[in-house]
Amino acid sequence: MRKQIHQTAEDQLNKMIGANLRYCRVLRKLSMTDVASFIGVTHQQVYKYETGLNSLTIFRLKQFSDFFKEEIKNLLNPDYISIMCRLVEANFFNTSETEFKVGSVDLSTMSDLSKNVRVKDFQNATLHLKFEGANNGNN
């Protein structure tokens, strides 16, 4: 029983980190091959990291962090995608530039941005958001 609970928690963590890595890659309009060549793995391995099938070592996480110019604490933040969606939606970043810098943003101070956003689906580089609260006119 304890092993199942531990395994489930580990799987959930791997999937959350993987989704954050995928979001970083897609936001920057990069392919898995682009990321893989920098990290030194195959695109299949990047896929396994992004889907949570494989765990990342701290060394690999640091490599992703360096490549995306993103702080490790942000990649480990379960609210990362929601916060970033709000920032992108507010045109906080110029996502058309090839050099997309996020690392200077302290996402821990922006957790209130994710209150009204729930990420419904993040597959095939498509985000489906449901806005709840002030923006939907139900107040």
CATH of the domain at 73: 1.10.260.40
Interval 8-56: pLDDT, tens: 889 999 999 999 999 999 989 999 999 999 999 999 999 999 999 999 9
**Total tally of structural domains belonging to the chain:** 1
5 pLDDT tier (thresholds 50, 70, 90): low
Q: Which domain holds residue 127?
A: 2-136
Q: Which pTM value belongs to this model?
A: 0.66
Task: Map the chain to HEC letters.
Answer: CHHHHHHHHHHHHHHHHHHHHHHHHHHCCCCHHHHHHHHCCCHHHHHHHHHCCCCCCHHHHHHHHHHHCCCHHHHCCCCHHHHHHHHHHCCCCCCCCCCCCCCCCCHHHHHHHHCCEEEEEEECCEEEEEECCHHHCCC
The whole-number pLDDT of residue 93 equals 62
